[in-house]
Amino acid sequence: MKCDMVYLRFVIFVMAVFFLPAMGSASGTPLTGFDHLLQIVKNEHLEFDAEKITPILDYVTSDHYTKEPQPQIAGVENNTYAYCGYESEGGLARLLKYCYNPDIPSCAVMPSVIRLSAWKNYNGNPATVSPSLWQRLESDDKPVVTRGLYYMQNTPDLTTGAYYGYDSYRTVILMNYKGRKALVSVLKQKDVSDVGKKGFIIGDESEMDYFYSGEQGLTVKGLGWVKSFLYDSFSVSVFVEDKKGEALLRCGVFKWIRAGWAGKNIVRKSQVKKGMERYATEFKNLMGKKNFPSADELVDICNSFKSLPTDEMKKRVERLIQSMHVKCVNSPTCPKVIESGDALGQYVDKLSRAELSSALIVDYIKTINSRTDKTGNIALKPISGIKPKVF
Per domain, the residue ranges of the chain are 22-290, 291-391
What are the pLDDT digits (tens) for 339-381?
A: 767 888 999 999 999 999 999 999 999 888 765 554 456 766 6
What pTM was computed for the model? 0.86
Phi, psi of 251 (to 5 degrees): -125, 140
Reference 168, options 186, 196, 183, 188; nearest CA is 188
How far is it, in rounded angstroms, from Cα 224 to Cα 312? 33
Q: Residue 26: which of 250, 264, 269, 265 has the closest Cα?
A: 269
pLDDT the model gives residue 162: 95
153: left (phi over 0), alpha (psi -120 to 50) or beta: beta
Rounded CA gap, 40 and 170, in Å?
10
Architecture of domain 22-290: 2-Layer Sandwich (3.30)
**pLDDT (0 to 100) of residue 330:** 63
Distance between CA atoms of residues 388 and 306, nearest Å: 9
Alpha-carbon separation of residue 299 from 50, 99, 208, 308 (angstroms): 32, 12, 21, 15
What local confidence, expressed as pLDDT, does residue 135 receive? 84
pLDDT tens sequence for the chain (391 residues): 434 443 444 343 344 434 433 333 344 789 999 999 999 999 989 999 999 999 999 999 999 999 999 999 999 999 999 999 999 999 899 999 999 998 999 999 999 999 999 988 777 666 667 777 888 887 767 899 999 899 999 999 988 999 999 999 999 999 999 989 999 999 999 999 999 999 999 888 888 899 999 999 999 888 899 999 999 999 999 999 987 556 889 999 999 999 999 999 999 999 999 999 999 999 998 998 888 899 999 999 999 999 999 999 999 999 999 888 878 776 666 787 887 678 889 999 999 999 999 999 999 998 887 655 544 567 666 666 565 665 5
CB-CB neighbours of 114 under 10 Å? 20
The pLDDT assigned to 296 comes to: 93
Helix, strand or coil for residue 31?
A: strand
The pLDDT score that the predictor gives to residue 369 is 72
pLDDT reported for residue 204: 83
Q: Is the dihedral of CA 107, 109, 113, 114 positive or negative?
A: negative
CA dihedral 186, 18, 274, 101 (to 10 degrees): -40
Tell me, what's the pLDDT at 107?
96
Beta strand residue intervals within the chain, DSSP E:
80-89, 114-120, 144-154, 162-163, 165-177, 180-189, 197-201, 210-216, 229-241, 248-260
Q: Could you read off the pLDDT of 45-75 as tens digits, one per residue?
A: 999 999 999 999 999 999 999 999 999 999 9
326 to each of 36, 225, 331, 339, how far by Cα in Å? 51, 27, 10, 9
